[in-house]
Structure 1
Amino acid sequence: MRTGSFVRPMGSSMDDELPPFPRRQMLVLAICRICEPIAFMGIFPYIYFMIEDFHITDDKSKISFYAGMVTSAFTFAEFSTGLLWGRLSDKIGRKPVLLTGLIGTALSVLIFGFAPNLTVALLARAIGGLLNGNMGVLQTTVAELVTVKEHQPRAYTIMPVVWCLGSIIGPMIGGALARPCISYPSLFPPGTIWDRYPYLLPNLFSAFVVLIGVINGILFLEETHSEKRHAHDRGLEIGNWILSLLPNFRRCAEARDEKTTKLSENSEEERPLLEHDEQLPGYRTNQNSPENSPRLGSTSAPSISRDPLDLAEPRGNVGVGFSRIFTRPVVLNIVSFGILAFHTMTFDQLFPVFLSTERPDQKVPTSLPFKFVDGFGLDSKTIGIILSAQGAYQLTINMFLVPPVLKRLGALRLFRFLTLAYFALYLVTPYLVLLPEKYRMVGVSMVLVWKCTFASMAYPSNAILTADSAPSHLALGTINGVAASTASLCRAFGPTISGILYAVGLTSGYSGLAWWCSALVAIGGAVISLQIEDPSSRTETRANFNNDVEAGQQRRSSLVTP
């Protein structure tokens, strides 16, 4: 008998065996998540003009450098505290850390909206990064909510879909509401607060959205930490009371309770034949009781992402060193994640600046294929529309294209293909300015479709590979914290370096310099991806890891036992 397999009750289908997908909690988590891309992406359409209004420099070719600094301030700060927030979530739970991150985001956008100079703008973004460690904690929360492999493709594309929604709303609002006295003089007359702080209005909108996310999290987000989820939560009690007033929710709750009772009865009737068989921990969310757990038995059951060896849930990885957690597959996946974050963040920050760059007053000598300078000269409203259209496309493919492609090709094969082909995107992009006027927007659209398709598939693939390469799910929180910090550091360096290179390129006549350097980075990522192994053969590593955990627990027990 294979350890960790399930009994299929007679007359039941494969879908009946699978625990229910935690729709409610994933929805609550998605509402919390959407606040961040709205606040983060909302500045891109107007950051060029904001830097210009600060009057730091008269040389417009240097504006991209300062725009990169503003973007990097958040990610540098996030890097410095990402691991700390991840470890804190292991001690106090996921929910308080996630809510603190949202509150930090609200404070950050409010200060940013009132920023009168570059120093305050940098400080505002740094505050947001210092107080927000949600990237790694969210990954851990999703892993704790969804432990069935059949649910993985669906679950790991929900947060990218949410990010896409935010990337639609954020740039659209940022581009439409920035400088309202210029865009809507009849509604916002000159001389008012909107004239003094021309970028306050979009940030007020972002702060309002984040406030909704905080209220949603307080009332409806359930703790997923194994040791904290049963603690008293006054906010959750109030939220459940509010939901109980809704007739539809009451009917759904009654149906769920009835299903739970039936599953419990079935579990009493069907027991393992051998008492010494190792019981697999049930699929648990706070919406599903332990009685809902599938049972041991046949080998024709669905696979589970939580390894059968991950039976103990200790208070920390006692007795296990970092060298046992950060194995070669884990390190390779984290490095790949960092490189991916570096060049994709470079694109996200550089492309709006690329579109904002004005055409030179006098013709710059051109020597193809590398020496050329030109610009699009688009305004903030047009750039906001373009970025929102990009988000709409990304949302669509995340919903309908990414899950089946992931399922068909597998995470490793898909990730390798994407990383091998990514460099071509950065080689092509700077040549858009050389297209005839009537074909320029067509070229922009094609590049954005290319970029969105690749990014939408690369991130979920890497997330699945990282989770599957972990020596144990007991170490997943620490691994995600380090991965988040690594990605934040790379996202911090990316915009700053690309901003410097873009300014140098405009000055020297090689406007594609920053893009071609990103292509070199992407090639490095492709080389690393070829070293990643299939994570399906990690059973022995997990066994050794869990043996070390058990030994650590025994040592701790011997120390505290009188």
Structure 2
Amino acid sequence: MDEEAPTIASYVEGCPGCAMERKKASNKGIPYKELFLVAITTIASALPISSLFPFIYFMIEDLHVAKNEQDIGLYAGLLGASYFVGRFMASLFWGLVADRIGRKPIIVFSVISVVIFNTLFGLSVKYWMAITTRFILGALNGMLAPIKAYSIEICLPEHHALGLSVVSTSWGLGLIVGPSIGGYLAQPTQQYPNIFHNKSIFGRFPYLLPCLCISVFAAIVLVSCIWLPETLHMHKNIYSEVEMSSDSRDPQTEDIHPDKCLYKNWPLMSSIIAYCVFTLHDTAYSEILPLWTVSDRKYGGLSFSSKEIAQVLAVAGAGLIVYQLFIYRPIHKFLGCVKSCRTASALSIPLIAAYPFMTHLSGFKLGLALYFVAIVKASLGMTILTSTSLLQNYAVSQNQRGAANGISATAMSFFKAIGPAGAGALFSWAQKRQHATFFPGMRIVVSSFVVVKCICYIWFLLLLPLHVLSINCSDLV
């Protein structure tokens, strides 16, 4: 295959995908503007997902749905899972649509859904309304599948890791900053009585302010989508009409037939399985961490306020940015995708196991330990998400990327729905067995996390090398 950039005559006029290929051929640098737009749209989409976790405990109390304090975790888990149930049902559809009409329309529609339904969630005064708005938000927010494909398509092959790391980092940052916003701004009449009055709208709807702030940010991002270029090729028989160069077609997908059945594509399926197992753990962890920290010490928690856990998550978000800017790319270049996954999974196991022992700490020592573990855990999680996303996108050609990422998002959403619901039920059960002889209290929760993380590590260790062999790309090892 010719290694030189394609000539202007090899492109189809009026095709946005060809226009993007022409732009990449003429500018070999990093597409900073496009990556910035990818970052802010991804953050806007991710912010609502976990923004409720710091105040979900208090929200369930205020909605008067739990019969006793120990049952709050169960209802909180169901509410947290409702978003992922909706995304599970719709992700494949959005991925297929993105392969038909383009990436940009789905991205824009997803941001609109955040503006509307995240605001409605903040106005919820009944449990059924809260769980319904979260479900609809998950079903209509089809961002994840097309944005991953988009981040690959705006970059030259040598910048693919950077493109997907921007998505993973922005997504992870949204999952961290979202709870920070929720923790700082929920129940403003109690946290900031000098600013917000009990008879104001924020007194009647104590969880509206964080949701409204996120929706306003999403509305601003929606305007910026005007400058978001389309990347999908809008003409038939792309592989025969357009002579693709190494700049416009991934070297990892060069030998993969564009019409290969995705469900029989083992490189794709193996990376999706690894991705799902990890996200099961990561979503359960994201819900349990705030629940554990705000619960009373008599139940094995830390008795934090929502503002204190917001501070922890904000510090973790700042650490994640530093890791993304200065550390991740050298690590990825040195280790590759698979070894990065293995190393990050192995290091996560002792970090998770250390949490129950933090209840013996207090003051400065507790803060130092919690901040350190939160920062490192977030950074390791971003490494795994980016590497598995790269493996998925390298396993297919462009005209199947939306569908492939849709399958990934669908499967991942199923596991993410199980994560909060299962973790919430497990947390409630753990609080009722503080004095059990076998893994009392939080130790049973943490032990379950360690088991899932070990399964994830074994998968990376034994099966993902087959992915590398299948796509003939040994440099990923």
Could you say whether these structures have the same fold, taking a TM-score greater than 0.5 normalized by the shorter chain as the test?
yes
State the shift of 1:448 in Å. Answer: 0.9
Q: Deviations over 1:99-125 (max 9, x none)?
A: 111111122211111100211110111
Contact 1:46 1:380 in 2 (8 A): yes
How far the C-alpha of 1:228 sits from its partner, in A, is 7.3
Distance in 2 of aligned mates of 1:397 and 1:280: 35
**SS of residue in 2 equivalent to 1:45:** helix
Query: 1:234 corresponds to which residue?
Result: none
Q: How does 1:116-195 map to 2 (within 5 A)?
A: 116-146=125-155, 148-167=156-175, 169-195=177-203
CA shift at 1:57, angstroms? 2.5
Residue pair 2:99, 2:232 contacting (<8 A) in 1 also: yes
Would the alpha carbon gap of residues 437 and 309 (structure 1) be closer, same or farther in structure 2, given more than 3 Å must change? closer
**One-letter identity of the residue aligned with 1:96:** P
CA drift of 1:331 comes to: 1.3
What displacement does 1:78 show?
0.3
2:325 to 393, 396, 399: 399
Shift of 1:382: 1.2
Please tell me whether the aligned partners of residues 157 and 399 of structure 1 are also in contact (alpha carbons under 8 angstroms).
Answer: no
Match of 1:524 in 2: 455
Q: How many residues align?
A: 443
C-alpha displacement of 1:92: 1.6
Residue among 412, 424, 427 paired with 1:487:
412
Distance 1:495 1:539 in 2: 35
Q: Which deviates more, 71-80 or 58-67?
A: 58-67
Structure 1 residues 313-366: Cα deviation after superposition (integer angstroms, max 9, x where no partner): 8xxx4xx5445xx32222111100000100011111110111010122xxxxxx
- The 5-angstrom pairing of residues 310-459 of structure 1 reads 317=259, 320-323=260-263, 326-360=264-298, 373-436=299-362, 438-459=364-385
Structure 1 distance, partners of 2:454, 2:173, is 30
8 Å CA contact 1:62–1:503 kept in 2: the answer is yes
Aligned to 1:5: 3
Distance 1:534 1:469, change over 3 A: farther
Asked if 1:477 is matched to 2:409, the reply is: no
Cα shift at 1:155: 1.6
Per-residue deviation at 1:282?
Answer: 6.8
Contact 2:295 2:303 survives alignment (8 Å): yes
Q: Aligned pair in 2 of structure 1 residues 322, 282: CA closer, same or farther (>3 Å)? A: closer
Structure 1 residues 47-70: Cα deviation after superposition (integer angstroms, max 9, x where no partner)? 111112112225222222222212
Residue aligned with 1:187, SS: coil
Radius of gyration: which is bigger?
Answer: 1
Q: 1:97 offset after TM fit, Å?
A: 1.0
**Gap change, CA 1:114 and 1:18, over 3 Å in 2:** closer
Partner AA of 2:123 in structure 1? F
Measured in 1, the distance between the counterparts of 2:455 and 2:472 equals 30
Q: Deviations over 1:262-291 (max 9, x none)?
A: xxxxxxxxxxxxxxxx9534746xxxxxxx
Q: Per-residue deviation at 1:474?
A: 3.6
Structure 2 stretches of 5 or more lacking a match?
6-23, 237-241, 435-439
Q: Is the 8 A contact 1:168 1:389 kept in 2?
A: no
State how far apart, in whole Å, the 1-side matches of 2:126 and 2:175 are.
26
Amino acid at match of 1:195: G
Query: Within 2, Cα distance between the matches of 1:160 and 1:307?
Result: 21
Counterpart residue number, 2:14: none
Q: Using a 3 Å threshold, how does the CA distance of structure 1 residues 517 and 537 change in structure 2: closer, same or farther?
A: closer
> Aligned letter for 1:383?
I
Question: For each residue in 1:487-514, what CA deviation from the matched residue of structure 2 results, as whole angstroms up to 9, or x when unmatched?
Answer: 1111110111011111111101222222
Amino acid at match of 1:341: T
Cα displacement (A) at 1:519 = 1.3
- The structure-2 alpha-carbon separation of the partners of 1:160 and 1:307, relative to structure 1 and needing over 3 Å to count, comes to closer
Which residue, out of 234, 239, 252, partners 1:227?
Answer: 234
In 1, Cα distance between equivalents of 2:360 and 2:352: 15
Partner of 1:363: none
* Deviation string, structure 1 residues 136-190 (Cα, Å, up to 9, x no partner): 11111112222x3311222222123323543454333322221111122232222
Find the aligned partners of 2:144 and 2:243 in 1 and give their Cα distance: 32
Asked if structure 2 preserves the Cα contact closer than 8 Å seen for 1:181 and 1:195, the reply is: yes
TM-score by length of 2: 0.86
1:426 shift after superposition: 2.7
Query: What percentage of aligned pairs have identical amino acids?
Result: 24
Pair 333,322 (structure 1): closer, same or farther in 2 beyond 3 Å: closer
8 A contact 1:35–1:209 mirrored in 2: yes
Q: Structure 1: which amino acid aligns with 2:379?
A: T
Which letter does structure 2 place at the counterpart of 1:160? S
- AA aligned to 1:216 is S
**Taking structure 1 as reference, are residues 473 and 192 closer, same or farther at Cα in structure 2, changes over 3 Å only?**
closer
For the 8 Å contact 1:418–1:458, the answer to whether it is kept is yes
List runs of 5+ in structure 1 lacking aligned partners: 8-14, 230-277, 285-302, 361-372, 542-562
- 2:228 is the alignment partner of 1:280: no
Q: Give the whole-Å Cα distance in 1 for the aligned partners of 2:404 and 2:433.
A: 42
SS of equivalent residue, structure 1 residue 518: helix
Separation of aligned partners in 2, 1:165 and 1:438: 25
| Corresponding residue of 1:242 | none
Q: 2:32 aligns with which of 23, 27, 36?
A: 23
Quote the offset at 1:304 in angstroms: 4.8
Say whether the 8 Å CA contact 1:280–1:308 is kept in structure 2.
no
Give the Cα separation in 2 of the matches to 1:173 and 1:341. Answer: 22
| 1:43 equivalent in alignment to 2:52 | yes
Q: What is the RMSD of the two structures over their aligned residues, measured on CA atoms?
A: 2.6
1:207 equivalent in structure 2: 215
Contact 1:161 1:399 in 2 (8 A): no
- The equivalent of 1:299 in structure 2 is none
Change (3 A) 1:431 1:164: same
Q: Please give the alpha-carbon distance, in whole angstroms, between the structure 1 residues aligned to 2:280 and 2:148.
A: 19
Q: Contact between 2:262 and 2:268, CA under 8 Å: does it hold in 1?
A: no
